[in-house]
């Protein structure tokens, strides 16, 4: 990896400003849809943490925050479906409205598994809010109820998204140069 993370990008997809604007737009949709209700926001670590921290501050409504850590069996750029829960929820979601906050929906496997898992815990409702939606990557039927951007089938990093645990702290979202993940 270059010392300047930007040198590893093929292009910038969304700037800091575009992300901030998109996050505000989605936060307003959520506030509108859940008016008068109190949400439990479940952030999926690590990818969702930056998005979640910005989103919940723009929502302007009561919300409880919790986190899960999940990892899928698979390599760095694709997931296989089997999911390991590495950190459980700490709050009781029975009869609660749950909003799962995730970095990206690609194959849809992670979130379709999680949705089923959380509905087994007795949630009253479960919706998904993803920073990015990659519909072309879908392997199972799953829709994000909210997404900030729809992106094409390219491997992206930044604003929480990683490749091999790097680039999460880039303030923008960019396409990683294929030579970076091909040599890994
Ligand atoms: P899914 O189960 O295939 O929908 O995969 C979701 C997970 O794969 C995300 O939470 C990411 O960690 C990872 N992922 C999928 N596409 C990308 C990408 O373009 N960049 C970084 N991570 C990705
Ligand atoms: Mg990841």
3-state secondary structure the chain: CCCCHHHHEEEEEECHHHHHHHHHHHHHHHHHHCCCCCEEEEEEECCCHHHHHHHHHHHCCCEEEEEEEEEECCCCCCCCCCEEEEECCCCCCCCCEEEEEEEEECCCHHHHHHHHHHHCCCCCEEEEEEEEECHHHCCCCCCCCEEEEECCCCCEEECCECECCECCCCCCEEEECHHHHHHC
What pLDDT score does 179 carry?
94
What pLDDT score does 79 carry?
61
Task: Quickly count: other Cβ atoms within 10 Å of residue 117's Cβ.
Answer: 15
Flag the least confident range among 54-63, 74-83, 148-157: 74-83
- pLDDT beyond 90 at 1: no
What confidence category does residue 3 fall into, taking pLDDT thresholds of 50, 70 and 90?
Answer: confident
pLDDT digits (tens, 9 = 90+) for 112-136: 999 999 999 999 999 999 999 999 9
Cβ of residue 104 lying under 6 Å from some atom of ligand 1 = yes
Mean pLDDT score, 66-95: 83
Cis bond upstream, residue 46 (ω within 30)? yes
Atom of ligand 1 nearest to the CA of 163: 21
* Predicted TM-score (pTM) of this structure: 0.94
Lookup result for tokens 């670590």:
45
Least distant ligand from the CA of 165: 2
Per-residue buried b or exposed e for 63-73, using 16+ beta carbons within 10 Å of the residue's own CB: beebbbebebe
Token pair, residue 38, equals 């109190």
Give 36 Cα–ligand 1 centroid separation in angstroms. 33
What pLDDT score does 5 carry?
94
What pLDDT score does 74 carry?
62
Name the nearest CA neighbour of 43 among 56, 61, 60.
56
Percent of the chain with pLDDT over 90: 89
106 assigned to active site: yes
């Amino acid at each position: 990896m270059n010392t300047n993370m930007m040198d590893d990008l093929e292009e910038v997809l969304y700037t800091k400003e575009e992300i901030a604007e998109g996050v505000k737009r989605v936060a307003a949709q959520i506030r509108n849809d859940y008016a008068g209700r109190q949400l439990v926001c479940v952030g999926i670590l690590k990818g969702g943490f930056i998005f979640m921290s910005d989103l919940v501050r723009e929502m302007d409504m009561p919300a409880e925050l919790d986190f899960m850590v999940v990892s899928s069996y698979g390599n760095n750029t694709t997931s296989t479906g089997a999911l390991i829960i590495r950190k459980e929820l700490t709050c009781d979601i029975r009869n609660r409205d749950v909003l799962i906050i995730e970095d990206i929906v690609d194959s849809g496997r992670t979130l379709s598994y999680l949705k089923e898992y959380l509905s087994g815990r007795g949630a009253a409702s479960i919706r998904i809010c993803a920073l990015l939606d990659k519909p072309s990557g879908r392997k199972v039927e799953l829709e994000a109820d909210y997404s900030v951007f729809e992106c094409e089938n390219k491997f992206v990093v930044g604003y929480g998204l990683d490749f091999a645990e790097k680039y999460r702290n880039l303030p923008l979202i960019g396409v990683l140069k294929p030579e970076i993940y091909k040599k890994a």
